[in-house]
A and B are shown apart, each in its own frame.
Chain A
Amino acid sequence: MENIIQFVYIASAALFILSLKWMSEIKTSRWGNWAGTAGMALAIVATLLKPEIHGYLWIAIGIVIGASIGTPMAMLMPMTAVPQRTALSHAFGALAAGIVGSTEYFLHGTNLSMPQLIVLCIEVLLGFLTFTGSLLAFGKLQEIIPTRPILYPGRNLVSLSVFAFSLFLIAYLVIKGGSHPFLFGLIVCLSLLFGILLVLPIGGADMPTVISILNAYAGLSSSFMGFLLNNKLLIIAGALDGSSGLILSIQMCKAMNRSFTNVLFGGVGQVLEVADPSRDGKIVKSLSPKEASILFEAAKKVVIVPGYGMAAAQAQHVVKELTDVLENRNIEVKFAIHPVAGRMPGHMNVLLAEADVPYDKLVEMEEINPLFPETDIVLVVGANDITNPAARKNPGSPLYGMPILDVDKAKQILFIKRSMSTGFAGIDNDLFYSPKTIMLFGDAKKVLNELLISINSN
């Protein structure tokens, strides 16, 4: 029987690898998801075949309850809430890893060898810090707690001390061996605390990086569980997940010009000093949507830049309607997608896909930037930092060096924004004061609707 189980595990691992491979292209991506699902189903079946497993009733109850919570979470969540759902899901997965590790310790702690104790402790540390970190990320994304970075003096020292102290306790536990329920409990508490300290100082704009890094931690935790249980399938699946989270967070860091170590130690997203005396005296032009609609009469090429403001206002469907109206007038419409627009890597692509915008109209930053000089109108829908030319021009700006969409090079910029307030990075956008920019103040959905009606009646 053991051999059959191992063969099924190998098949399951192969399916997970295929799953990621197929996921790299739209054409095969649905196959990718099915392969992943099949891999998971095989893994469950093989585990249940183990002769030492007999408590089927509680297993069934657990799976049924889990599925009946997970299904509505997946089917009913609006696409704007996908980042929250992912964060919450990470929290659940990590909690399971933490519980399994802790239970193993209390069951067999005294019989475990030194390397087994090491991986057990790392699994528990990663599991529980990902649990609280993800819950906190969920709270921030859902705006239960403020999305602004929450900072306190000496926070790096506090986080590092908590981390160092838990490593010290782990080292003590491993070297001494034997049963230390109190010390182990303390390690669990410190891990939970460390997760909170890690995410607390991170702001809304850095959420794409945070979600990716939590993904990596959750995967690594599963992988270490695999070392503990001597189960290669867990090691493989966890490592695949870990490296995927790692790669995505590195890509997100590059897209924001942040150092990766900064994110690892949770130092990202500091509130930057808002000292901007230059703002006074600068002129901001603003029009009503009705007045601005006339501009589209002469336009041939339009680029729309979606940002978190579009997501927050659920305006993606109006954006799609506007696109249709413009295209009916033979205006070419493209979408410029910045890698960190939104709250999750690729979030804007999903929102626009939900509104039925074909994906071949979505153009990535590198390809769209050379096209801006010949663009008649750029319509920015609630995106701020990713369009700020200070990132290119002003070495004193905190955004300096961050790759941005070169919206300022277009012939005319229409900027939809609720107010003159700053973006997540807390700095003013030079673009507002450009002679080519016209501000359209208001909720993205409302402004776009009015724009749509006016263009139709022109």
Chain B
Amino acid sequence: MTLSDWITNLYVFVLASFLGLELIRNVSRLLHTPLMSLTNAISSISLVGSLALTGEGEKTWVIVLGTIAIIASSINAVGGFLITDRILKMFRKSK
């Protein structure tokens, strides 16, 4: 990785952080729990790292650790998105 890669990545990080702050600031308090289970699911983006590790793995120990990481982050992803939908389905306005 070159220095300019690092600088670009840092730009991306700073911009995404501020974007995140702006987006979340407007979320109604009503939705804080589903918001948290949603962002919890999104944090399982680390699945991408686990996939690369396992998929490229030549050595057995790397594949074993990679598979454990895949299991852990897919529990996080699947569980997070499913429960968020389950919660959101319950919110109803009075007739």
Residue of B whose beta carbon sits closest to that of A107: B62
> Total interface residues on B, using CB and 8 Å?
81
Residues of A within 8 A of B28 (CB): 24-26
Residues of B within 8 A of A24 (CB): 23-24, 26-28, 31
Decide: B49 and A23 in contact? CB cutoff 8 A: no
CB distance from A222 to the nearest CB of B (A): 4
Decide: B72 and A233 in contact? CB cutoff 8 A: no
Decide: B83 and A77 in contact? CB cutoff 8 A: yes
Asked if A376 is at the interface of the complex by the 8 Å CB criterion, the answer is no
**Residues of A contacting B: mostly:** helix
**Residues of B contacting A: mostly:** helix
- Interface positions, chain A 1-60, Cβ under 8 Å from B, are 16-17, 19-21, 23-26, 29-30, 32-34, 36-37, 39-40, 43-44, 47-48, 50, 52-56, 58-59
Residue of A whose beta carbon sits closest to that of B49: A100
Residues of B within 8 A of A347 (CB): 33
Q: Pick the contact of A103 from B53, B81, B83 — CB < 8 Å?
A: B53
Asked if A353 is at the interface of the complex by the 8 Å CB criterion, the answer is yes
CB distance from B95 to the nearest CB of A (A): 8
How distant is the Cα of A211 from the Cα of B32 in the complex, in angstroms? 12
Among listed A89-97, A160-168, A450-458, interface-contacting one: A89-97
Per-position 1/0 for B37-69, Cβ under 8 A of A? 111111111111111111111000011011111
Per-position 1/0 for A428-453, Cβ under 8 A of B? 00000000000000000000000000
Residues of B within 8 A of A32 (CB): 38
- Interface positions, chain A 206-225, Cβ under 8 Å from B, are 211-212, 215, 218-219, 221-223, 225
CB distance from B89 to the nearest CB of A (A): 7
How distant is the Cα of A70 from the Cα of B77 in the complex, in angstroms? 8
- Interface positions, chain A 191-232, Cβ under 8 Å from B, are 211-212, 215, 218-219, 221-223, 225-227, 229-232
Decide: B20 and A243 in contact? CB cutoff 8 A: yes
Q: Pick the contact of B74 from A66, A225, A237, A247 — CB < 8 Å?
A: A66
How distant is the Cα of A305 from the Cα of B6 in the complex, in angstroms? 51
- Interface positions, chain A 280-306, Cβ under 8 Å from B, are none
CB distance from A377 to the nearest CB of B (A): 21
Residues of A within 8 A of B48 (CB): 43-44, 47, 229, 231, 233-234
Decide: B20 and A20 in contact? CB cutoff 8 A: yes
Among listed A151-159, A358-366, A385-393, A415-423, interface-contacting one: A358-366
Residue of B whose beta carbon sits closest to that of A65: B71
CB distance from A403 to the nearest CB of B (A): 13
CB distance from A135 to the nearest CB of B (A): 12
Residues of B within 8 A of A52 (CB): 52, 55-56
Decide: A74 and B83 in contact? CB cutoff 8 A: yes
Q: Pick the contact of B81 from A40, A44, A85 — CB < 8 Å?
A: A40
How distant is the Cα of A339 from the Cα of B33 in the complex, in angstroms? 11
Asked if A325 is at the interface of the complex by the 8 Å CB criterion, the answer is no
Residue of A whose beta carbon sits closest to that of B41: A36
Asked if A82 is at the interface of the complex by the 8 Å CB criterion, the answer is yes
Decide: B33 and A346 in contact? CB cutoff 8 A: yes
Q: Pick the contact of B35 from A23, A69, A234, A361 — CB < 8 Å?
A: A23
Decide: B19 and A96 in contact? CB cutoff 8 A: no
CB distance from A125 to the nearest CB of B (A): 15
- Interface positions, chain B 70-95, Cβ under 8 Å from A, are 70-95
CB distance from A220 to the nearest CB of B (A): 9
Q: Pick the contact of A339 from B29, B42, B71, B76 — CB < 8 Å?
A: B29
How distant is the Cα of A29 from the Cα of B53 in the complex, in angstroms? 34
How distant is the Cα of A97 from the Cα of B76 in the complex, in angstroms? 12
Given A99-B65, A236-B16, A346-B32, decide whether A247 and B88 contact each other with a Cβ distance below 8 A. no
How distant is the Cα of A44 from the Cα of B52 in the complex, in angstroms? 10
Decide: A66 and B42 in contact? CB cutoff 8 A: no
Q: Among the interface residues A19, A21, A36, A244, which one has the most CB atoms of the partner chain B within 10 A?
A: A244
Q: A47-B51, A236-B12 known; 13 other A-B pairs, CB under 8 Å?
A: A23-B31, A29-B34, A39-B42, A73-B75, A74-B82, A85-B83, A218-B40, A230-B9, A232-B12, A235-B9, A240-B39, A241-B39, A350-B90
7 contacts between A and B (CB under 8 A): A26-B31, A55-B55, A62-B68, A74-B83, A238-B45, A243-B21, A354-B90
